[in-house]
Amino acid sequence: MTAAYNNAQILIDVLRDPESVSSIDGGGLDAGGWTALITIARAEQLLGTLAARVKGQQLPDAVSAILDDAEKNAGYQRKTALWEADRAKAALADYDRPIALMKGTAYHAANLLAAQGRHVGDLDIMVAEDDLPQVEKALMAAGWEWVKEDEYDDAYYRDYMHELPPLIHQERDRMIDVHHTILPKTAKPSPDPAAMLARAERLDSGLYVFEPADRIIHSAAHLFADGDLAGGLRNLWDLFCLLKELDDSKAAQASAVLSSRAEEYGLGAAVQRAIRLSQYCYGNRNVSLSFADRLYIRRLLARNGYGQQTRKLTRLAFYIRSHWLRMPPLMLARHLWTKWRKGH
């Protein structure tokens, strides 16, 4: 019964080995297993990915119907994400320096493995920091407007963050995050956004995506050096796919370039962790995990077959850590104080 599914193990097992859902020897999944798997995948925003992974197998009718919907929905997500990128490009027609797509939209635009069935929320782009005023102005002229009217939040973004306060389009109701680097200014690692933009690959649309090693560095920085790991299983799946493509490309020195660049940016540990954890969850499980790695796994799998988040203390610890990474302690205290006073 579903009560036995007290963590998200079943989801990583099926993404790693999709044929396990119907294998006769392994017993395959029963109704309780399917219900838990679908619920967890949906909550982790991996249902479209799951649909793409198990496609072509003999599945129960009820499962096929749900996964067909997820596949259709993923197609719609892709179309919407690419359209949003197209609209941003049109709004910035007069801007002649590289605009790099990031995260989900980039994976779709470059037709990467990670894009298969992937959900896309906001549009994330990166431009040179000096050009932010020009880019912001052009986007606002094309119908984007501020989401947060609050002066404190606005100043906070501008002074300390790696992106402008989020903008939302008046008519299409879609958000855009305009980045000038990949981590908050207050975080310790020091990536080189100018070099990342200079190396970025140009697509037919005239938009850019980071080159392979930089994609991995950005995704790993986002997962392990920034947020609180909420939705981390999907980010880790992205990383698994990006790493696999880097490996499959057989590009000379690809992994050496990745390691040395990550070291240089202060993100060596994040990238190494990405390699270990993604291999452990989705790939060849033959990796040795540190004690800290096991804590990360514990956090990543904190979701049960009912779709509930579990392991409250672990989650809280990672939440506090995410703020710690972004801000020195005194600044954190000031920030939380201001937020509490406003009743957040």
Partner 1 sequence: MHEFRVIIGPASFRLLSRWAKPLDQMRALYAGYPQADIADFTVRLEEVSLLRRFIRPSAAINGDYMLPDAAPLPVSQGLLGLEMGMNLQMALGWRRQLILHASAAARGGKSLIMTGESGSGKSTLSAMLGFKHDDTKPQDSWRFLGDEFALIDPESGESVGYPRLISLKNQAIAAMQAAAPDGKFGPLMPGTPKGDIRHLVPPVEAVSAMEKRARPALILFPRFGHERAIRDMPPSEVFIRLTQASTNYVALGEAGFQALSHLVETVPARAIDYRSGEEAMEMVEQLWTELR
Q: Which stretch binds partner 1 (CB under 8 A): 27-35, 207-215, 274-282, 335-343?
A: 27-35
Question: Any contact of residue 152 with partner 1 (CB under 8 A)?
Answer: no
Residue closer to partner 1, measured from CB, 18 or 307: 307
Q: Whole-number minimum distance, CB 35 to partner 1, in Å?
A: 5
Q: Whole-number minimum distance, CB 174 to partner 1, in Å?
A: 12
Which one of 27, 76, 147, 248 is in contact with partner 1 (CB under 8 A)? 76
Which one of 18, 60, 121, 283 is in contact with partner 1 (CB under 8 A)? 60
Which one of 7, 39, 49, 235 is in contact with partner 1 (CB under 8 A)? 39
Q: Are 99 and 207 contacting, i.e. CB atoms less than 8 angstroms apart?
A: yes
Q: Which stretch binds partner 1 (CB under 8 A): 73-81, 107-115, 119-127, 135-143?
A: 73-81
Q: Which 300-329 positions form the footprint of partner 1 (CB under 8 A)?
A: 306-308
Which one of 62, 292, 320, 331 is in contact with partner 1 (CB under 8 A)? 62
Question: Which among 54, 162, 58, 159 has a CA at the least distance from the CA of 117?
Answer: 54
Q: Whole-number minimum distance, CB 277 to partner 1, in Å?
A: 26
Question: Which among 152, 316, 173 has a CA at the least distance from the CA of 165?
Answer: 152
Which one of 11, 12, 43, 221 is in contact with partner 1 (CB under 8 A)? 43
Q: Which stretch binds partner 1 (CB under 8 A): 59-67, 139-147, 175-183, 200-208?
A: 59-67
Which one of 22, 73, 259, 322 is in contact with partner 1 (CB under 8 A)? 73
Total chain residues near partner 1 (CB under 8 A): 22
Question: Which among 199, 208, 175 has a CA at the least distance from the CA of 96?
Answer: 208
Q: Which stretch binds partner 1 (CB under 8 A): 56-64, 137-145, 235-243, 330-338?
A: 56-64
Which one of 5, 10, 15, 35 is in contact with partner 1 (CB under 8 A)? 35
Q: Whole-number minimum distance, CB 74 to partner 1, in Å?
A: 11
Q: Whole-number minimum distance, CB 9 to partner 1, in Å?
A: 18
Q: Whole-number minimum distance, CB 251 to partner 1, in Å?
A: 37
Which one of 14, 50, 63, 223 is in contact with partner 1 (CB under 8 A)? 63
Q: In the 3-class helix/strand/coil scheme, how is the chain assigned residue by residue?
A: CHHHCCCCHHHHHHHHCHHHHCCCCCCCCCHHHHHHHHHHHHHCCCHHHHHHHHCCCCCCHHHHHHHHHHHHHHHHHHHHHHHHHHHHHHHCCCCCCCCEECHHHHHHHCCCHHHCCCCCCCEEEECCHHHHHHHHHHHHHCCEEECCCCHHHHHHHHHHCCECCCEEECCCCCEEEEECCCCCCCCCCCCCHHHHHHHCEECCCCCEECCHHHHHHHHHHHHHCCCCCCCHHHHHHHHHHHHHHHHHCCCCCHHHHHHHHHHHCCCHHHHHHHHHHHHHHHCCCCCCCCHHHHHHHHHHCCECCCCCECCHHHHHHHHHHHHHHHCCHHHHHHHHHHHHHCCC
Binding interface with partner 1 (CB under 8 A): 2-3, 31, 34-35, 38-39, 42-43, 60, 62-63, 65-66, 69, 72-73, 76, 79, 306-308
